[in-house]
Amino acid sequence: MVTMRLVGMTFLLWMIDLLHAFAIMEKEDIFKKTPCPAFLMFNNAAYLTDMSFELPCNCKPEEITSVVWYFQNSPGSRETKVLTDFDGTMVVDSGHIRMGSDMLKRFSIRMFSLIVFRAQVEDSGHYLCGTKQGDFFYGYDVDVQPSKYITVAFKDIGQHPQKDHIEKLFSLFTTFWDWTKCDRCGVRGEQRRIGLCYVNSTYLNPRYRTTLADVVSCGSRSVPMRFHSTIQLRKPEVVIRSCMTPCPKKKAPKEGVLAIANLIAKLGEKPWVPKVPIQFHKQQIGSSLIISCPGARPEHAVAWDKDLAPLYRTHFLKGVNKSMRVFIDHGNHLHIQFAQLNDRGTYYCWRESQMIAGFRLSLGFQSPRKRTLNDPETRYAIKAILTSYVFITIVFIGIHLGRCCFCVFRGTFVG
């Protein structure tokens, strides 16, 4: 029996190695079938801020076993960043990436492909796949469009996307992605549809490849500079609508497990078990915090609830009301500014129609502590008091000197 198990495990490991080798051979066959262009071309690609994207090196010579990725912020720029360790093996854990961190800390290379996490507007530019000697095989023209001033349209109240803008030499329009999943299940939820800005013109640089002829994203380097003043006024947009989807049925417990649960319930009260993992967090009153949904990205369908009350984007999306303290940004993060006592509670996070986590927020006042001479606040107070004392002393002495001088001159004048 033991011998049969060893034979089975050996066969399983052999099959895994065979499939892995087949995957590598298939990848190599793709490079053989995809010849590199005679002149370096740039494929246009557009994304929204805080999204992650992957750029495959679709062609390379057969003798090249590792690639180097380069980044140029502007065409012909001498400042070129090298995005690799020259072995093509650098890997970054996307769970440890923070918003706004430097791009050199937000990329990874896997199977000749470059992956950039939480892209920022500053990441827009040329990405080149080549060798450490400076030979380039493949290029991308990446346009990361900002979400700070994104245009929002709520379909339920009759709002509509932006209309196309037509000029004599070019036209501007929005290309929408598919609707996301309903962000909640079993209750009313919301769906989003992200739209990015694109331009249609016959005056584009011919070295840039596009899916449609004469169409590129608005931030592409192929767009002539004289068009930029008008194009900058066009912003990406998002359309939001209500939705309703049923929750997936959960498997019923087996009879034995159900009987044991009933027995425990009869013997004593069952302990409270949260429906999702709960993280406890204590915050000081008047401070601000940002809560992120675990594993969520800007393109995911994410929703937030406070206790039993859903926080719909119709009322809590950033920019809907300028005086909001609690709002959801376009990266699906929940912001609480100048926290107050009524902000206490449990905030639940939905991702792709499933509730996955909760955050128990408690608020309190800052406990008093003894000040020491090493505290910056103490030093600042002492410095301010001494400066005020010196200033008052100078004023006091100046007033008395002035009176003395006045009396002396007055006595001399009278005498």
pLDDT at position 338 over 60: yes
Is pTM beyond 0.75? Reply is no
Q: Is 401 exposed, middle or buried (0-12, 13-18, 19+ CB in 10 A)?
A: exposed
Does residue 2 lie within any of the structural domains? Answer: no
pLDDT at position 26 over 50: no
Which has the minimum average pLDDT: 74-78, 289-293, 324-328?
A: 74-78
pLDDT at position 398 over 80: yes
Please give the average per-residue pLDDT across 290-317, as a whole number. 92
Whether residues 120 and 173 share a domain: the answer is no
CA distance 146 to 194: 12
Please give the average per-residue pLDDT across 286-294, as a whole number. 91
Where among 91, 111, 145 does a domain terminate? 145
Does residue 14 lie within any of the structural domains? Answer: no
Res 152: pLDDT: 93
Which CATH number do you get for residue 288? 2.60.40.10
Whether residues 207 and 291 share a domain: the answer is no
Does residue 320 lie within any of the structural domains? Answer: yes
Whether residues 132 and 153 share a domain: the answer is no
Q: Which amino acid is at 2?
A: V
- Is 414 or 123 the better-scoring residue by pLDDT? 123
Whether residues 319 and 224 share a domain: the answer is no
Domain extent, residue 287, equals: 274-364
Does residue 159 lie within any of the structural domains? Answer: yes
Res 159: pLDDT: 93
Whether residues 138 and 178 share a domain: the answer is no
Highest mean pLDDT among 60-64, 107-111, 153-157, 405-409: 153-157
Alpha-carbon distances of 161 from 2, 153, 170, 176, 298, rounded to whole Å: 67, 6, 20, 10, 20
Where among 319, 343, 364 does a domain terminate? 364
Q: Contact at 8 Å (CB) between 154 and 191?
A: no
Where among 127, 145, 163 does a domain terminate? 145
186-227 pLDDT, tens digit per residue, is 999 999 999 999 999 999 998 888 888 899 999 999 999 999
Which has the minimum average pLDDT: 185-189, 293-297, 308-312, 352-356?
A: 293-297
Please give the average per-residue pLDDT across 219-245, as a whole number. 93
CA distance 150 to 121: 13
Q: How confident is the model at residue 96 (pLDDT cuts 50, 70, 90)?
A: very low
Does residue 397 lie within any of the structural domains? Answer: no
Secondary structure of the chain in the HEC alphabet? CHHHHHHHHHHHHHHHHHHHHHHHHHHHHHHHHCCCCCCCCEEEEEEECCCCEEECCCCCCCCCCCCEEEEECCCCCCCEEECCCCCCCCCCCHHHCCCCCCHHHCEEEECCEEEECCCCHHHCEEEEEECCCCCEEEEEEEEEECCCCCEEEEHHHCCCCCCCEECCCEEEEEEECCCCCCCCCCCEEEEEEEEEEEEEECCCCCCEECCCCCEEECCCCCCCHHHHHHHCCCCCEEEEEEEECCCCCCCCCCHHHHHHHHHHHHHCCCCCCCCCCEEEEEEECCCCEEECCCCCCCCCCEEEEECCEEECHHHHECCCCCCCCEEECCCCCEEECCCCHHHCEEEEEEECCEEEEEEEEEEECCCCCCCCCCCHHHHHHHHHHHHHHHHHHHHHHHHHHHHHHHHHHHHHHHC
Among candidate residues 295, 296, 364, 286, the one with its CA nearest the CA of residue 328: 296
Does residue 267 lie within any of the structural domains? Answer: no
Res 95: pLDDT: 44
Res 13: pLDDT: 52
Whether residues 117 and 198 share a domain: the answer is no
Whether residues 165 and 236 share a domain: the answer is yes
Does residue 258 lie within any of the structural domains? Answer: no
Whether residues 127 and 154 share a domain: the answer is no
Q: How confident is the model at residue 357 (pLDDT cuts 50, 70, 90)?
A: very high
Whether residues 299 and 329 share a domain: the answer is yes
Domain count of the chain? Answer: 3
Res 27: pLDDT: 46
pLDDT, the chain, mean: 81
Whether residues 137 and 37 share a domain: the answer is yes
Whether residues 208 and 302 share a domain: the answer is no
pLDDT at position 119 over 60: yes
Whether residues 140 and 35 share a domain: the answer is yes
Does residue 74 lie within any of the structural domains? Answer: yes
